């Protein structure tokens, strides 16, 4: 490592690496990605033209190629199983650019009272033989050539034989699940690993039934369906693609964050002492209130909650009563988090219906609107917890022995 | 002489029995050639001109299907050498690398798998951005979402088969999520509420994870289960759904376009 | 009477014969009226209920098929040595790979700590410099006692049953786990007092 560092001790390159490491920090990069997405959509008319597109692609390529001079960066990017993520990065950029450029073009045409560009030829028909088949044929040949070249130049990874007692450090899920693995840092497995994926799948399936906007059917558009496209881009780019890239390139030993040019030090120590909402309330806030008001009740400290399992079959009243008591204690201890999450999911739909979901609130029936609001709010739980973790070291909103959120 | 040979081939009964239509130099023949071929008749005979354009579809759906076919072919070839046992799996990996001609079969399979996952994601992105899930194509979008999930599951089950460190730890993490299911996973919320007279109904010996890996810990049973899922169960399910997916494209009015 | 009946059968018109047939099969009641709507609905519901029950049973049987009755994971016990071999405030890693447990002496108790992270089942590493167990998968950290003090792990590390054999050696029984969240760490079978 040191030898390489001496060779490349170019001050400009070192400064570039330091800045890149700083920007890669999840707080900076996630907020940057979300902010970038918003700005990009806001100024879409100036962003989605061929020269900005080309510029972004060139910057991506230059950063990656220049980065390859750094041994730590090369180690991560050059890993055979990470190559698909680099490919995905470029393909996401290109496809986003392709889609949005045509959407912006159609938007301009609409202002001139012209139909979408696709409409010009959508009533004409083309022969499948030979016009479509010839495109497909070329695509298949190019795809086959690319696959064979890829397979010749890169060996499929094969690590040491399975050893159940030595976990490699770091140990990662397949790349397309790294977004979910990233969620596991913030939420418990039952939520991040089971409930959330199910809601994502169900939510995706529900899209055609809750997006009742008839416009934008069969052509690229943004202005006519701002909300649905923005939500999808946020979920797809910020919460899926971005998280995969973070999880692959920036998560190192001990699942700690490492900048792209940082050495993966297995002994890096990062304090992960996270605190629950109930801790803030009972340990920090209430004692102060007790001092101010002189009421002793505020100074009782964190109420204890035991894990009691009620025996339901056959019913054992003693254990059910004990469970009831612990349930009450849990409500008491976690009341602040429960109120917060309750308000989030119950008042959230109403607040959104008065603000940015106004048109959906009016046009959708109760069931569909509730579903839409629930899906949007559930998606929101991810950035919510992430931001709370970064700002307040928050561990759980609600922490009971039975369920943690 | 050559002309005679050409005529005798072109006019032979054998040739005519295989290629019914002949050179498609008229519109009628162009229709017949697509209709008369079991593979080509996945297509209609004519498509919307706007839908044929590369910048509209990016070929993402077609390439996803093509990659599925590549994976089927390379997968079947790999099955000739691979034994799904704890003792055999890793050794066979090494053999497929060094003892088999054309030693990049595994590479082709793995990179095609990665490419297919990316392509399916991009296909979904394209379909969303063109609003093609809107009526009358709502149900085909639902089928597409299931196919996306099956693609992930196919790739995930295949991840275990090399039986190396990468494989077992990725699957350890993945399969432990099954343990976290509410009610049906032994470590999930409320699982210990399900008991009769103190005897738990959901425990590590019968919960969702046990069902998935066939034992309490990752081992030979897991490898066999994932092998069967990867090579038979999920591909069959995906093939059936793909048939529905393609059929519905035709029945819902062909490739989407402005109304 | 019998003769009379056979005679009438012969003289019945085709229509009357058909009605008679339907009566025999139960489609018409004795008065020759068809089955009432209510009776029809009941029969239909019964038929479908039977079909649904059979289908449910079949699905249950098929799902049960994939849960084997026997789990061939061996339950082992290990003799790990006399308590004196485990000095105070140390973590012994000798059985990490063979038995999947650490022997920890925290100064008051000696116990066998399971190497399975309570988050998603990876194997944490003992970092003696920082005096903690650190899981490589999602960064959960555990104290020497196994308390989940950092990262996403929801509970303490599990402990195995320990006892003293006749020859004074500690025996670790992997068939019995102790859970902190169930208050089982006070159970005398879960530790050996120093």
Q: How far is Cα B140 from Cα B248, in angstroms, rounded to an integer?
A: 6
Q: Give residue C4's pLDDT.
A: 53
Q: Which residues make Cβ contacts (< 8 Å) with residue A148, sequence separation at least 6? A: B104, B108
**Which residue, B59, B61, B70, B89, is CA-closest to B154?**
B70
CA distance C163 to chain B (A): 24
In terms of domains, do C55 and C81 share one?
no
In terms of domains, do C17 and C94 share one?
no
Q: Which of A125, A168, A309 sits opposite B169 (nearest CB)?
A: A168
Q: How far is CA A374 from each of CA A149, A348, A352, B146, rounded to the nearest angstrom?
A: 46, 9, 11, 21
Per-residue burial over B210-244, b = 16 or more CB atoms within 10 Å of its CB, e = otherwise:
bbbbbbbbbbbbbbebbbebbbeebbebbeeebee
Q: Is residue C41, in this structure, part of any structural domain at all?
A: yes
Instruction: Give the neighbours of chain B: at least 3 Cβ pairs within 8 Å.
Output: A, C
Q: Which residues make Cβ contacts (< 8 Å) with residue C6, sequence separation at least 6? A: none
Q: Is residue C33, in this structure, part of any structural domain at all?
A: yes
Q: Give residue A170's pLDDT.
A: 83
Please give the structure tokens belonging to residue C162. Answer: 């320990």
Residue ranges per domain, chain A? 2-119+130-156+174-186+219-255, 277-392
Say if residues A13 and A6 touch (Cβ distance below 8 Å). Answer: no
Q: Which of A254, A267, A401 sits opposite C139 (nearest CB)?
A: A254
Q: Judging by DSSP bridges, how do beta strands C141-142 and C90-92 pair with one another? A: unpaired
In terms of domains, do C50 and C103 share one?
no
Whether cis (ω within 30° of 0) applies to the bond prior to A170 is: yes
Q: Is residue C47, in this structure, part of any structural domain at all?
A: yes
- Rg of the Cα atoms in chain B: 24
Q: What angle do CA C99, C105, C108 make, to 5 degrees?
A: 140
Q: Between chains, do A143 and B63 touch, taking CB under 8 Å as contact?
A: yes
- With cut-offs at 50, 70 and 90, classify the pLDDT of residue B250: very high
Q: Between chains, do B180 and A232 touch, taking CB under 8 Å as contact?
A: no
Q: How far is Cα A5 from Cα B100, in angstroms, rounded to an integer?
A: 42
Q: Between chains, do C97 and A272 touch, taking CB under 8 Å as contact?
A: no
Please give the structure tokens belonging to residue A87. Answer: 């490919």
Q: With an 8 Å Cβ cutoff, is A217 touching chain B?
A: yes
Domain count, chain C: 2
Q: Between chains, do B221 and C68 touch, taking CB under 8 Å as contact?
A: yes
User: What proportion of chain B, given as a percentage, has pLDDT over 70?
Assistant: 100
Residues of chain B positioned with their CB less than 8 A from the CB of A176: 117, 121, 152, 155
Q: Give residue C8's pLDDT.
A: 56
Per-residue model confidence as pLDDT tens digits over A57-98? 999 999 888 888 888 888 888 888 899 999 999 999 999 999
Q: Is residue C70, in this structure, part of any structural domain at all?
A: no
Say if residues A249 and C131 touch (Cβ distance below 8 Å). Answer: no
Q: Give residue C69's pLDDT.
A: 82
In terms of domains, do C53 and C143 share one?
no
Model pTM score: 0.90
**Which residue, B102, B112, B101, is CA-closest to B73?**
B112
Q: Which residues make Cβ contacts (< 8 Å) with residue B131, sequence separation at least 6? A: A215, A216, A217, A218, A219, A221, A225, B256
Per-residue model confidence as pLDDT tens digits over A183-213? 888 888 899 889 999 999 999 999 999 999 9
Is residue A271 scored above 80 in pLDDT?
no
CATH architecture observed for domain B56-251: Up-down Bundle (1.20)
In terms of domains, do C36 and C91 share one?
no
- Tell which C residues from 62 to 101 touch B, by Cβ distance under 8 Å: 66-68, 71-73
Per-residue burial over C76-98, b = 16 or more CB atoms within 10 Å of its CB, e = otherwise:
ebbebeebeebeeebbbeebbee
Q: How far is Cα B204 from Cα B83, in angstroms, rounded to an integer?
A: 28
Say if residues B196 and A313 touch (Cβ distance below 8 Å). Answer: yes
Q: Between chains, do C136 and A168 touch, taking CB under 8 Å as contact?
A: yes
Q: How far is Cα B249 from Cα B251, in angstroms, rounded to an integer?
A: 6
**Domain final residue pick, C37, C65, C93:** C65
Domain containing C14 equals 2-65
Look at C26 and B77; give whichever has higher pLDDT: B77
**Which residue, B242, B109, C175, C189, is CA-closest to A156?**
B109
Residue C139 belongs to domain with CATH number: 2.102.10.10
User: What proportion of chain A, given as a percentage, has pLDDT over 90?
Assistant: 55
Q: Judging by DSSP bridges, how do beta strands C132-134 and C77-81 pair with one another? A: unpaired
Per-residue model confidence as pLDDT tens digits over B225-237? 999 999 999 999 9
Provide the 8-state DSSP code for A216. Answer: S
């Amino acid at each position: 490592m040191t030898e390489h560092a001496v060779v490349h001790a170019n001050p400009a390159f070192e400064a570039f690496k330091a800045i890149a490491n700083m920007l890669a920090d999840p707080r900076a990069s996630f907020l940057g990605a979300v902010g970038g997405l918003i700005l990009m959509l806001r100024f879409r008319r100036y962003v989605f033209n061929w020269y900005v597109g080309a510029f972004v692609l060139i910057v991506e390529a230059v950063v990656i190629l220049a980065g390859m001079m750094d041994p730590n960066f090369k180690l991560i990017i050059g890993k055979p199983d990470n190559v698909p993520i680099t490919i995905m990065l470029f393909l996401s950029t290109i496809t986003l650019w392709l889609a949005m450029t045509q959407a912006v073009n159609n938007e301009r045409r609409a202002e001139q009272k012209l139909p979408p560009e696709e409409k010009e030829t959508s009533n004409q028909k083309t022969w499948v033989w030979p016009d479509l088949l010839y495109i497909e044929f070329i695509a298949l040949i190019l795809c086959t050539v690319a696959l064979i070249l890829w397979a010749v130049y890169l060996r499929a990874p094969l690590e040491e034989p399975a050893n159940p007692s030595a976990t490699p450090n770091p140990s990662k899920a397949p790349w397309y699940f790294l977004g979910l693995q990233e969620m596991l840092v913030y939420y418990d497995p039952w939520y991040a690993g089971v409930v959330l994926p199910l809601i994502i799948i169900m939510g995706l399936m529900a899209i055609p039934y809750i997006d009742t906007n008839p416009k934008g059917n069969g052509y690229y558009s943004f202005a006519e369906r701002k909300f649905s496209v923005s939500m999808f881009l946020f979920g797809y780019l910020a919460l899926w693609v971005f998280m995969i890239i973070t999880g692959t390139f920036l998560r190192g030993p001990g699942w700690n964050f490492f900048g792209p040019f940082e050495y993966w030090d297995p002994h890096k120590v990062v304090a992960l002492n996270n605190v629950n909402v109930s801790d803030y309330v009972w340990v920090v806030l209430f004692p102060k209130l007790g001092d101010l008001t002189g009421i002793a009740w505020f100074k009782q400290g964190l109420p204890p909650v035991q894990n009691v399992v009620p025996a339901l079959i056959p019913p054992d009243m003693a254990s059910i009563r004990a469970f009831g008591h612990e349930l009450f204690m849990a409500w008491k201890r976690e009341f602040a988090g429960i109120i917060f999450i309750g308000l989030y999911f119950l008042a959230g739909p109403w607040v959104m219906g008065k603000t940015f979901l106004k048109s959906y609130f009016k046009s959708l029936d109760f069931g569909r609107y509730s579903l839409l609001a629930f899906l949007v709010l559930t998606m929101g739980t991810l950035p919510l917890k992430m931001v709370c973790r970064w700002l307040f070291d928050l561990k759980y909103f609600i922490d009971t022995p039975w369920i943690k959120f | 002489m050559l002309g005679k040979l050409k005529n005798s081939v072109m006019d032979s009964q054998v040739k005519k029995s295989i290629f019914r239509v002949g050179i498609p130099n008229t519109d009628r023949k162009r229709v017949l050639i697509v209709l008369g071929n079991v593979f080509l008749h996945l297509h209609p005979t004519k498509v919307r001109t706007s839908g044929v354009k590369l910048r509209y579809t990016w070929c993402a759906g077609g390439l996803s299907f093509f990659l599925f076919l590549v994976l089927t072919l390379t997968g079947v070839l790999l099955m000739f050498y691979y034994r799904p046992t704890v003792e055999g799996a890793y050794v066979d990996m090494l053999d497929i690398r060094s003892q088999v001609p054309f030693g990049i079969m595994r590479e082709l399979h793995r990179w095609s798998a990665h490419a297919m996952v990316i392509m399916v994601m991009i296909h979904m992105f394209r379909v969303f951005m063109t609003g093609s899930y809107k009526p009358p194509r709502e149900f085909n979008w639902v089928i597409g979402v299931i196919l996306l999930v099956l693609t992930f599951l196919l790739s995930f089950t295949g991840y275990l088969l090399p039986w190396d460190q990468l494989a077992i730890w990725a699957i350890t993490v993945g399969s432990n999520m099954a343990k976290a299911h509410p009610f049906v996973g032994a470590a999930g919320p409320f699982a210990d509420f399900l008991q009769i007279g103190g005897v738990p109904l959901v425990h590590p010996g019968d919960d969702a994870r046990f069902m998935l890996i066939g034992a309490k810990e990752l081992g030979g049973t897991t490898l066999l289960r994932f092998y069967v899922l990867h090579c038979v169960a999920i591909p069959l399910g995906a093939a059936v759904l793909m048939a529905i997916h393609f059929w519905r494209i035709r029945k819902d009015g062909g490739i989407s376009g402005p109304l | 009477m019998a003769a009379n009946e056979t005679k009438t059968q012969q003289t019945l018109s085709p229509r009357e014969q058909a009605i008679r047939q339907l009566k025999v099969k139960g489609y018409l009641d004795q008065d020759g009226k068809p089955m009432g709507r209510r009776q029809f609905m009941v029969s239909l519901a019964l038929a479908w209920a039977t079909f649904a029950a059979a289908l449910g049973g079949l699905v249950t049987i098929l799902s049960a098929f994939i849960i084997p009755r026997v789990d061939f994971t061996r339950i082992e016990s290990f003799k790990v040595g006399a308590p004196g071999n485990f000095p105070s405030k140390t973590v012994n890693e000798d059985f990490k790979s063979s038995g999947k447990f650490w022997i920890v002496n925290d100064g008051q108790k000696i116990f066998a700590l399971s190497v399975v992270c309570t988050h998603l089942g990876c194997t944490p590493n003992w970092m003696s410099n920082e005096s903690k167990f650190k899981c490589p998968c999602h960064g959960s950290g555990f104290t020497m006692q196994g308390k989940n003090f950092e990262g996403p792990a929801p509970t303490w590390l599990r402990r195995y049953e320990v006892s003293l054999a006749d020859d004074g050696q500690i025996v670790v029984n992997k068939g019995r786990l102790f859970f902190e969240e169930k208050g089982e760490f006070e159970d005398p079978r879960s530790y050996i007092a120093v």
